[in-house]
Structure 1
């Protein structure tokens, strides 16, 4: 194959699973959890993404921090999530269609370049003295526009880089690098904010995009184009994807869990700013450690989630992950001191990694290849809509009843939802997350 351009890995039945032969022990353990690193292109992509996402978390922490310093309002902090994710809600249908119709590598090169320029613009405005909250939110929204187009191609591109037998490992490791960046980035941001100020966090975020752009240029894998690209407009193709999801209970359940995490679980990330300032009074370095705790929990959980995937089903991971997730949120809300709060966030970070990676793996495994981009766009759309909604509601409650009350209520509702899902025995239930791959082949369509 030395003279040929490398093609996407085959999706034949021979590489769909690493099912052990009769009498042979199923592969498991830490080494098994990192099996996707055997693929050169995935490893390059993973490393570039880790550096870039670390840079992004510098900005993700700095923007809410400076906004809270300016406004002293949890609601304004919540609006950062709205500005960041609202564009993705409207652009997800277009992003999914692009992911299914275009070369995903080229799409990522375009969107990552746009995100880099928006990050550079944020740095330039801040250093020029434009510190108004509305200006900061608008600039965050510009990056959100490119991110909304980027995400469906990003998540679909992971499946292009590995055979299906390594998909669970690849999805978990992709979540791991995101959460490892969440651990490293905020810790660095706390130090930078304390020593050098916000300008350096914004600048380093812009520079970090060079690493993922460099990784994309080094990748040799060429994603296969569908034989018969779906015709019709963006809305028509998106409605076709919704109909496809509705007929597959496993995908429906994955979306339900994604919304649950977005509304009740994710807003705790924004509350680290409020708790660091108003509850624990620990300053920017302490804030960085609080956010780093999330990533530490994910790093601990990743080998457990991916290394034993043949012994523990995705439905079981989500079932117990949601339950412990809710307990961790409540524990953070009632934390008597800073150290207890950090430990609680380690638990929350581990459960977040377990639940989100299990849901993403389920969707990536179940969906037919020609629908992957649009189906992942639906998941992104639901998730990104639920996050700011939950953040706004909890921010509103926090401003009136206090941050501890808002966080405790969110955790309690998460516990109730987890118990209800555990007991539900209908057609759409947690066990359907382990449904098999849809091997339907692409045929000419008009919708």
Structure 2
């Protein structure tokens, strides 16, 4: 038995996702939570670099946050497919809030041990590995299929609005009140999303019954499905490369701010906010001017080149003002690549396997981020942050050219609707 029809869904309009109350509540709560998370995400590398003066410590903190997702994402995907995703998120978001509260208490008490802070970040990464598949899957549960593209884009938009606003707030807090207040507001923000989840109701309630098979059996079925879908495999692979070569810039901004632009926490906040502002500009423009026919392959080809060029341009900017302008381009290209690839995966993944497919994407992407930031830290120590960024930008150009040159098997695959038949057990769950 095959899954639901494979025809391309009709568009529900650029703001279609907000026609649904559950999604609107979830989006507002997520925006506040993500803003708080960016306070913490910028504060951690800032205080580590201030106390140690080493980019490697900054890389270790990012690896500690994203590395555990490689191990825990399979469990998160399994839980997201076999349990109520909203309730699962209530538990994980509460746990993440407790960890954020601990980081605030540690720093406010004067206990400024980098190892302890990285330990807390590691625990945060462990819970986030379980949280993320359910988070991404719940977006699909809150809207009908015709509004999925709108929901995915605006889910990325809220994250990037937070990426623009959060660092700017963090810069002001770090310059005026100190790091402990940035940690404090991060902890408070998790309470907001927990309250929001209490009021969220799904558009299509999922019938969650006994698990169709054990953990390993379900993952074997999901991996077989993904292996037969060349579009999903290519999209996940490209997510990995974007994570390795594109994502480190979000961590290396602390090095750019201090060593290249000779600025303090406010300048750092503005530079990082530039990355988020670019993402917001892309999300708004991309949503309002989207064409009915989604040419995913062509879009990815263009934005991979744009991201590579933007990174190279940022690396040679002589002043903070020009660096912020270049960062806007980097942020726009990064979101364009990530949102397009994520939409491909969401549209190709059937609901019974959605949590596991998104967990696989999150696992690979998180591992690539951990590897990329460590590589970025090492290259920065060896040859400087500017040359390291040029190398990353050049690598993205090479990747885009190499895949584009593959006859009939490159980016055009992203436009195909190659969704294989589901395994029998998963097909039965659709009835």
The TM tier, using the shorter chain, reads over 0.9
Distance 2:157 2:54 in 1: 31
In structure 2, the partner of 1:24 is none
Deviations along 1:285-315, whole A, 9 cap, x unmatched? Answer: 0000011111111111113333414244111
Contact 1:366 1:435 in 2 (8 A): no
Alignment correspondent of 1:436: 417
**Which runs of no fewer than 5 residues in structure 1 stay unpaired?**
1-10, 20-26
Partner of 1:82: 63
Superposition map of 1:27-426 within 5 A: 32-221=13-202, 223-225=205-207, 229-232=211-214, 234-307=215-288, 308-426=290-408
Alpha-carbon distance in structure 1 between the residues aligned to 2:88 and 2:418: 26
**In terms of mean alpha carbon deviation, does 384-393 or 417-426 score higher?**
417-426
| CA contact 2:83–2:208 (8 Å) conserved in 1 | no
Cα 1:202–1:142, aligned 2, differ >3 Å: closer, same or farther? Answer: same
Gaps of 5+ in 2: none
Secondary structure in 2 matching 1:444: helix
1:203-251 CA distance string (max 9 Å, x none)? 100000111111111112263136773312x334223322211110000
RMSD: 2.0
- The answer to whether the Cα contact below 8 Å between 1:101 and 1:225 also exists between their aligned partners in 2 is no
Shift of 1:272: 0.4
1:145 deviates by 1.2
TM-score, L = length of structure 1: 0.91
Distance 1:331 1:108 in 2: 39
Q: After alignment, is 198-207 or 33-42 more displaced? A: 33-42
CA contact (8 A) 1:330 1:408 kept: yes
Q: Is the 8 A contact 1:57 1:186 kept in 2?
A: yes
Secondary structure, in 3 states, of the residue corresponding to 2:50? helix
Distance 1:437 1:213 in 2: 37
Q: Secondary structure at the match of 2:407?
A: coil
Verify the 8 A CA contact 1:15 1:163 in the aligned structure 2. Answer: no
Q: 1:309 to 1:378 in 2, by over 3 A?
A: farther
**Structure 1 CA distance for aligned equivalents of residues 316 and 308 of structure 2:** 13
8 A Cα contact 1:156 1:376, kept in partner:
yes
TM-score (norm 2): 0.94
Alpha-carbon offset, residue 336 of structure 1: 1.7
Q: How far apart are the structure 2 equivalents of 1:235 and 1:410?
A: 36
What secondary structure does 1:310 align onto? coil
Which of 9, 22, 25 is the aligned partner of 1:17?
A: 9
CA 1:402–1:359: 2 relative to 1, 3 Å: same
**Deviation digits for residues 80-135 of structure 1 (CA, Å, limit 9, x no counterpart):** 11110111110011000001000000000000000000000011111122211111
Equivalent residue for 1:7?
A: none
- Pair 378,441 (structure 1): closer, same or farther in 2 beyond 3 Å: closer
Using the alignment, how far apart are the partners of 1:135 and 1:92 within structure 2?
24
The Cα of 1:33 is off from its aligned counterpart by: 2.2
